[in-house]
Homo-oligomer: A and B are copies of this chain.
C-alpha cells in the first residue's frame, strides 16, 4: 500500500493502536523537542555563529527530515492543526534558506559552501537531500500542498544538473545511500521521469571502474572505511553479499529494488534477491536486526552474529523492513513479510522504550551492564536522544507509516500481510473493498476478517513462517484455499457479512540457530508467534548465563498488567550455583532448579537496567 493511503488503514484497538498513540503523543513530540533544543531546526536559518552552542553538523538535516516525514504520516491518520503549523514553519525555513540554484544543506551553506560535493564518500549531502525528499513527498501526500515538494524538486533538478554520465557532470554517487529510493518516491509523486532516471544513474554508477570514491579519496582509506564499507567495491548488479555499513547497504538495496521494478530490470532485481537472501539466511539476528559489528556499524561474515557485542543498529532493522517490503512488492512471497515482521516486532521495536521517549541505537541480544565488552564498549540504558540521532526519528516515521504494510493490492488480489484489529478501505480493480480485522495478535494467533460489500477479489492471506498449524474457516466452515508462496488464497465473490477466521495455534517455541552460528550453538531462543523473548535480570537475577533450560518443556503463558497486556512466559530452568574465590576447579558446579520469567525482547530495559539474554543455554 502506498503511504498516500495510510489513512485507509485505521487501527481500532490492540498493539498497533497503542503504538500509534505513543508515537503520536510521545515519540514525535520528543523528536520535535530534541530537534529544537539541540539547534537542528535553528541550523536551517543559517545564522549560527562561532562561539554559540550547538554547532550544526553534516547530517542534522536528515534528523529534521525524518521527524517531518513522521509528522506528515501521523497527520494523515490524525489531523493536528498545531503540528501541521509547526512543520509548515520548518518547511518555510528550508524554502527561505534554499539557494537560488536549488541547493540546500544547513551545514555546507554555513561552513564550506565552496566545498559542496567534494567529499561524497564521507559526507552526507545526498543522504540529507534524500531524507528531505521523502519528507516532502509525505507532506504532499498528507496535505496536497506542493510547497515542500516543489522545494525538493528544485533541489532534485539541481542535483540532476550536477550528477550524471554526461560529459561535464560529476560521475559521483552518495557515500551514504538514501537518495536513490527518495528520487523514486519523488518520481512517483510528480510523475517526472527525470527523477527515476537520476535514481537509476546513482544505482548504475556505483562501484563502476574507474572508481569514483578511489579517485575522490586519492586511494587513502582507514580502518574498515574502504570501498566495501560503501557498497562501492563493484557494480551493484555484481554484488551478492551484503557488506559494509548495514544502514547504507539496505538503503541502497531499497533503491535498487525500486529502480529494478520501475524499469523492469530483471537482472537488477535478481541482484536484490541475492542480497536479501544473503542477509536473511546468513547475516540476520533472530530479532531481525542486522549489522553485527560495532566497528563501522557493519555487516561482517556469514553466520558471524555475536550477541553481547551485537551492533544491530535500530536504523538497520528499519532499513531491512523497507528492503523486505519492496522485495515482497516485487515477488509477492510471504518470506519477505516473515522477515519484515520479525524485524518490526523485535529488532526495531527494541530501539524505543515502551513509553516512546527513550531510544537504543545499538540492540544487543545479551546485555552485561557490569562489564566491558570485547569491542571495548559498555551497555547503557536508552538515552532520550543521541548526538548522531538517526534512530529516534526513523522509529517515529516507521511507526507513523506502519499501516502501509498491512495490505497490498495487486490487480484483483488483496494481500493481507500483518495482523491487528483495524478497518481498511481498499480499491481493488475499481471496486471499493472494506475489510476489518479483529484479533489480539501478536498475543494470540486468531484473526477474524470481516468483508463488507459484495465484491469479487482474491484474498491472499499470509500464513506466517512461524505458524506450524492453522485452520481457515469461511463463515464457520473450512475454507477452500490454495497455498502460493506462503499465502492462503481464497477467490470468491464476497458477500457483506462474510467472516473469514484464520486460527493459528501459537505455542511458545524454542528456536535453534544454524550450527554455523558459533555464538548460538547449544542454545535456544524463545519465540511465540512473531515475538522473540528474553530473560531480564530484574525477573531472574544476575548471571543469566548460569541458567540453562530444557527445551522439552512447555512454557506457561501469563498475561501481565506490567507490560500492557503483553504475554509473558514462565518456564523452568536450572541455575549453576555460584562459588567463591577460586577461578578454575575440576569439581563440577552444583545446579539448582529455578523458575524463570521471559519477557518480549522489545520490552527489555524498561525497568531496572540489568542483564538480558535471548539465547539461553540448552540442557
Interface residues of A (CB under 8 A from B): 223-224, 280-282, 284, 286, 292-296, 300-301, 303-304, 306, 308-309, 368, 370-376, 468, 509-518, 521-522, 525, 543-546, 548, 551, 576-579, 581-589, 617
Contacts and interface: CB of A to CB of B under 8 A. Distances in A.
Question: Which interface residue of A522, A551, A577 has the most chain B CB atoms within 10 A?
Answer: A522
A588 B522 contact: no
A362 to B, nearest CB: 12
B588 A551 contact: yes
A371 B300 contact: yes
A548 B523 CA distance: 12
B281 A581 contact: yes
Contacts of A295: 375-376
Nearest to A223: B376
A375 B376 contact: yes
Nearest to A548: B522
B543 A512 contact: no
A338 to B, nearest CB: 10
Given A280-B583, A284-B583, 8 more contacts: A223-B376, A293-B372, A301-B371, A304-B372, A512-B587, A515-B579, A521-B546, A551-B588
Contact of A301 (B281, B372, B546): B372
Contacts of A579: 514-515
Nearest to A283: B583
Nearest to A521: B545
A373 B373 CA distance: 12
Contact of A582 (B281, B374, B518, B576): B281
A513 to B, nearest CB: 6
A536 to B, nearest CB: 15
A283 to B, nearest CB: 8
A584 B513 contact: yes
Contact of A282 (B292, B583, B585): B583
28 contacts: A224-B376, A281-B583, A284-B583, A293-B372, A295-B375, A301-B370, A304-B372, A306-B374, A308-B374, A309-B309, A309-B374, A309-B375, A374-B375, A375-B375, A510-B588, A511-B584, A512-B584, A512-B587, A512-B588, A513-B584, A514-B582, A515-B543, A517-B583, A518-B543, A518-B545, A521-B576, A521-B617, A522-B617
